[in-house]
Amino acid sequence: MRPAAESSEFRRNLVGVLPRLRRFAMTLTRNAADADDLVQEACERAITRHHLWNGEGRLESWIYAMTRNLWIDEIRKRKVRGGAGTIDVSEQDALSVEASAEKAIYANQLQKMVLSMPEGLASVFLLVNVEGHSYREAADILKIPIGTVMSRLSAARMRFAAMITETTERRA
Protein backbone atom coordinates (compact mmCIF):
# COMPACT_ATOMS: atom_id res chain seq x y z
CA MET A 1 0.00 0.00 0.00
CA ARG A 2 1.24 3.51 -0.77
CA PRO A 3 2.34 5.47 2.30
CA ALA A 4 -0.38 8.09 1.85
CA ALA A 5 -3.12 5.48 1.54
CA GLU A 6 -1.63 3.57 4.43
CA SER A 7 -1.67 6.70 6.55
CA SER A 8 -5.23 7.46 5.53
CA GLU A 9 -6.41 3.96 6.46
CA PHE A 10 -4.56 4.17 9.75
CA ARG A 11 -6.26 7.45 10.56
CA ARG A 12 -9.66 6.01 9.72
CA ASN A 13 -8.99 3.08 12.03
CA LEU A 14 -7.82 5.48 14.70
CA VAL A 15 -11.10 7.38 14.50
CA GLY A 16 -12.90 4.08 14.95
CA VAL A 17 -11.22 3.41 18.28
CA LEU A 18 -11.61 6.96 19.59
CA PRO A 19 -14.62 6.35 21.86
CA ARG A 20 -12.89 3.37 23.43
CA LEU A 21 -9.58 5.23 23.65
CA ARG A 22 -11.29 8.08 25.45
CA ARG A 23 -12.91 5.64 27.85
CA PHE A 24 -9.53 4.09 28.59
CA ALA A 25 -8.02 7.54 29.06
CA MET A 26 -10.78 8.38 31.53
CA THR A 27 -9.77 5.41 33.68
CA LEU A 28 -6.24 6.81 33.81
CA THR A 29 -6.95 10.50 34.33
CA ARG A 30 -10.31 10.19 36.10
CA ASN A 31 -11.53 13.47 34.70
CA ALA A 32 -12.81 14.38 31.25
CA ALA A 33 -10.62 17.41 30.58
CA ASP A 34 -7.38 15.54 31.16
CA ALA A 35 -8.72 12.54 29.26
CA ASP A 36 -9.46 14.65 26.19
CA ASP A 37 -5.99 16.21 26.30
CA LEU A 38 -4.45 12.80 26.71
CA VAL A 39 -6.42 11.32 23.84
CA GLN A 40 -5.39 14.17 21.59
CA GLU A 41 -1.75 13.76 22.48
CA ALA A 42 -1.92 10.00 22.03
CA CYS A 43 -3.53 10.38 18.61
CA GLU A 44 -0.93 12.87 17.54
CA ARG A 45 1.82 10.51 18.56
CA ALA A 46 0.10 7.50 16.98
CA ILE A 47 -0.21 9.30 13.65
CA THR A 48 3.39 10.44 13.58
CA ARG A 49 4.52 6.92 14.48
CA HIS A 50 1.97 4.89 12.57
CA HIS A 51 4.75 3.34 10.49
CA LEU A 52 5.79 1.53 13.68
CA TRP A 53 2.41 -0.18 13.94
CA ASN A 54 2.96 -3.62 12.51
CA GLY A 55 -0.71 -4.34 11.87
CA GLU A 56 -0.71 -7.40 14.08
CA GLY A 57 -2.92 -7.75 17.12
CA ARG A 58 -5.31 -5.05 18.22
CA LEU A 59 -4.68 -1.49 17.22
CA GLU A 60 -6.13 -0.29 20.49
CA SER A 61 -3.59 -2.31 22.49
CA TRP A 62 -0.81 -0.42 20.76
CA ILE A 63 -2.47 2.92 21.30
CA TYR A 64 -3.52 2.14 24.85
CA ALA A 65 0.07 1.37 25.79
CA MET A 66 1.17 4.63 24.18
CA THR A 67 -1.57 6.49 26.05
CA ARG A 68 -0.59 4.96 29.33
CA ASN A 69 3.05 5.95 28.81
CA LEU A 70 2.06 9.50 27.98
CA TRP A 71 -0.01 9.71 31.12
CA ILE A 72 2.80 8.47 33.30
CA ASP A 73 5.03 11.12 31.74
CA GLU A 74 2.40 13.74 32.42
CA ILE A 75 2.06 12.73 36.04
CA ARG A 76 5.80 12.88 36.45
CA LYS A 77 5.90 16.38 34.95
CA ARG A 78 3.17 17.54 37.25
CA LYS A 79 4.97 16.17 40.25
CA VAL A 80 8.13 17.96 39.27
CA ARG A 81 6.27 21.21 38.58
CA GLY A 82 4.58 20.85 41.93
CA GLY A 83 7.94 20.87 43.67
CA ALA A 84 8.19 17.22 44.49
CA GLY A 85 11.41 16.83 42.51
CA THR A 86 12.14 13.90 40.28
CA ILE A 87 10.06 10.77 40.52
CA ASP A 88 11.51 7.33 40.75
CA VAL A 89 10.21 4.98 38.09
CA SER A 90 9.24 2.46 40.74
CA GLU A 91 6.84 5.00 42.20
CA GLN A 92 4.99 5.65 38.99
CA ASP A 93 2.10 3.33 39.61
CA ALA A 94 1.54 4.76 43.04
CA LEU A 95 1.21 8.32 41.81
CA SER A 96 -2.10 9.95 42.30
CA VAL A 97 -3.85 12.86 40.64
CA GLU A 98 -6.58 15.10 41.79
CA ALA A 99 -10.06 13.82 41.01
CA SER A 100 -11.93 16.47 42.92
CA ALA A 101 -15.64 16.98 42.78
CA GLU A 102 -15.11 20.27 40.94
CA LYS A 103 -13.23 18.58 38.13
CA ALA A 104 -15.20 15.39 38.01
CA ILE A 105 -18.48 16.83 36.81
CA TYR A 106 -20.19 14.10 34.93
CA ALA A 107 -23.77 13.68 33.99
CA ASN A 108 -23.83 10.05 34.81
CA GLN A 109 -23.69 8.63 38.27
CA LEU A 110 -22.32 5.32 37.08
CA GLN A 111 -19.35 7.08 35.57
CA LYS A 112 -18.75 8.91 38.82
CA MET A 113 -18.73 5.61 40.65
CA VAL A 114 -16.19 4.15 38.27
CA LEU A 115 -13.96 7.19 38.45
CA SER A 116 -14.09 7.24 42.23
CA MET A 117 -12.36 3.87 42.40
CA PRO A 118 -8.79 3.72 43.70
CA GLU A 119 -6.24 4.39 40.98
CA GLY A 120 -5.42 1.49 38.73
CA LEU A 121 -8.49 -0.65 39.34
CA ALA A 122 -10.75 0.74 36.63
CA SER A 123 -8.13 0.42 33.89
CA VAL A 124 -7.55 -3.26 34.60
CA PHE A 125 -11.26 -4.01 34.83
CA LEU A 126 -11.90 -2.21 31.54
CA LEU A 127 -9.15 -4.01 29.68
CA VAL A 128 -9.92 -7.51 30.91
CA ASN A 129 -13.58 -7.67 31.76
CA VAL A 130 -15.06 -5.18 29.32
CA GLU A 131 -12.72 -5.36 26.34
CA GLY A 132 -11.61 -8.98 26.64
CA HIS A 133 -7.87 -8.54 26.85
CA SER A 134 -5.97 -11.39 28.44
CA TYR A 135 -4.11 -10.88 31.69
CA ARG A 136 -0.84 -10.87 29.73
CA GLU A 137 -2.11 -8.22 27.30
CA ALA A 138 -3.42 -6.04 30.12
CA ALA A 139 -0.12 -6.36 31.96
CA ASP A 140 1.78 -5.35 28.81
CA ILE A 141 -0.45 -2.34 28.15
CA LEU A 142 -0.26 -1.08 31.71
CA LYS A 143 3.32 -2.21 32.28
CA ILE A 144 2.50 -3.95 35.52
CA PRO A 145 3.11 -7.55 36.64
CA ILE A 146 0.39 -10.12 35.95
CA GLY A 147 0.03 -10.61 39.69
CA THR A 148 -0.90 -6.94 39.98
CA VAL A 149 -3.43 -7.38 37.18
CA MET A 150 -5.01 -10.23 39.13
CA SER A 151 -5.15 -8.40 42.42
CA ARG A 152 -6.43 -5.15 40.90
CA LEU A 153 -9.05 -6.97 38.87
CA SER A 154 -10.45 -8.84 41.83
CA ALA A 155 -10.36 -5.66 43.91
CA ALA A 156 -12.25 -3.81 41.17
CA ARG A 157 -14.91 -6.52 41.02
CA MET A 158 -15.36 -6.48 44.78
CA ARG A 159 -15.58 -2.70 44.70
CA PHE A 160 -18.29 -2.82 42.08
CA ALA A 161 -20.16 -5.39 44.16
CA ALA A 162 -19.95 -3.05 47.15
CA MET A 163 -21.26 -0.21 44.97
CA ILE A 164 -24.35 -2.25 44.19
CA THR A 165 -25.05 -2.51 47.87
CA GLU A 166 -24.43 1.17 48.43
CA THR A 167 -26.77 2.02 45.59
CA THR A 168 -29.40 -0.36 46.86
CA GLU A 169 -29.16 1.13 50.33
CA ARG A 170 -29.50 4.66 48.99
CA ARG A 171 -32.57 3.69 47.02
CA ALA A 172 -34.14 1.93 50.00
Write down the least CB distance from residue 100 to other proteins, Å.
8
Structure-derived torsion over alpha carbons of residues 166, 167, 171, 172, reported in degrees to the nearest 10:
-40
Assess contact for 19 and 60: CB atoms under 8 A. no
Contacts of 60 (CB under 8 A, 6+ apart): 17, 20, 21, 24, 131
Contacts of 34 (CB under 8 A, 6+ apart): 25, 74, 97
Binding positions for other proteins, 25-84, rule CB under 8 A = 26, 32-34, 36-37, 39-41, 43-44, 47-48, 75, 78-79, 81-82, 84
Write down the least CB distance from residue 58 to other proteins, Å.
16
- Name which position in 6, 65, 111, 143 contacts other proteins (CB under 8 A): 111
Q: Which DSSP category does 90 fall into?
A: G
Q: Does 125 bind other proteins (CB under 8 A)?
A: yes
Write down the least CB distance from residue 11 to other proteins, Å.
5
- Name which position in 51, 73, 105, 134 contacts other proteins (CB under 8 A): 134
> Is residue 55 left, alpha or beta, with left meaning phi > 0 and alpha meaning psi from -120 to 50?
left
- By CB under 8 A, the count of residues binding other proteins is 74
Q: Does 104 bind other proteins (CB under 8 A)?
A: no
The SS3 of residue 26 is helix
Write down the least CB distance from residue 142 to other proteins, Å.
16
Stretch that binds other proteins, among 52-60, 61-69, 124-132 (CB under 8 A): 124-132
Stretch that binds other proteins, among 51-59, 60-68, 123-131 (CB under 8 A): 123-131
Write down the least CB distance from residue 57 to other proteins, Å.
19
Whole-angstrom Cα Rg for the chain? 17
CA distance 12 to 14: 5
